[in-house]
Amino acid sequence: MNAPSPRKLRVATTSLAGCFGCHMSFLDIDEHLFELVELVEFDRSPLTDIKDVGPCDIGLIEGGVCNAENVHVLRAFRRNCKTLIALGACAVNGGLPAQRNHLPLSECMREVYQFRPGIANGQIPNDPELPLPLDKVRPVHEVVRVDYFLPGCPPSGPAIWKFLTDLISGRTPRLSGGLLHYD
């Protein structure tokens, strides 16, 4: 008798204050993508263009939290994902965007939108549709509970593949030796 094939795991991914480099690195698992789609199906992700996250097994968060929209998306991911993973340096410790943290936000905005060379009568954007920036950029674990962390800028394709295969097959994900990098 044929055993029913196991339900595919549902995976959502997003990039908050990130550069999509971690998503690009995710694509660097290359031909493993064929194996992966046998095991998982994608929910909200730049790969599917689904806009809202639904109930999922695994959520991958790239990037730190720099504005109000990031907070909403991150909380929605936490509500819907059984296992939430901080993917990459920015999600883990704020990364490059967090290097503005020692500057007052207003000074940053003025520098970019008013005082940058070549700008005349520049104004800080104030369209109500724009999400409000936070005074400091935060790593995701300072906003919601995070189950696993996968550091690296970006984590390499092999590191992402090792991590996901560990997780999907029920092992505690472990990165050691050459797969663990912060840079």
**135 near other proteins (CB under 8 A):** no
Can you tell me which of 71, 94, 134, 162 binds other proteins, judged by CB under 8 A? 94
Residue 75 CB, nearest approach to other proteins (Å)? 18
Token pair recorded at residue 67: 């504005």
Cβ–Cβ under 8 Å, residues 16 and 70: yes
**Cα gap 161→4, rounded to integer Å:** 26
Q: Which residues lie across from 15 on neighbouring strands? A: 62
Which segment (25-33, 69-77, 85-93, 115-123) binds other proteins by CB under 8 A? 85-93
Can you tell me which of 8, 27, 68, 99 binds other proteins, judged by CB under 8 A? 99
**98 near other proteins (CB under 8 A):** yes
**180 near other proteins (CB under 8 A):** yes
**114 near other proteins (CB under 8 A):** no
Tell me which amino acid residue 91 is. Answer: A
For residue 79, count CB atoms less than 10 angstroms from its CB and return exposed for 0-12, middle for 13-18, buried for 19 or more.
Answer: exposed
Query: Between 32-39 and 157-168, two packed helices, what is the crossing angle to 10 degrees?
Result: 30
Q: Which residues bind other proteins (CB under 8 A)?
A: 86, 89, 92-96, 98-99, 101-102, 136, 138-139, 141-142, 146, 148-151, 153, 174-178, 180-183
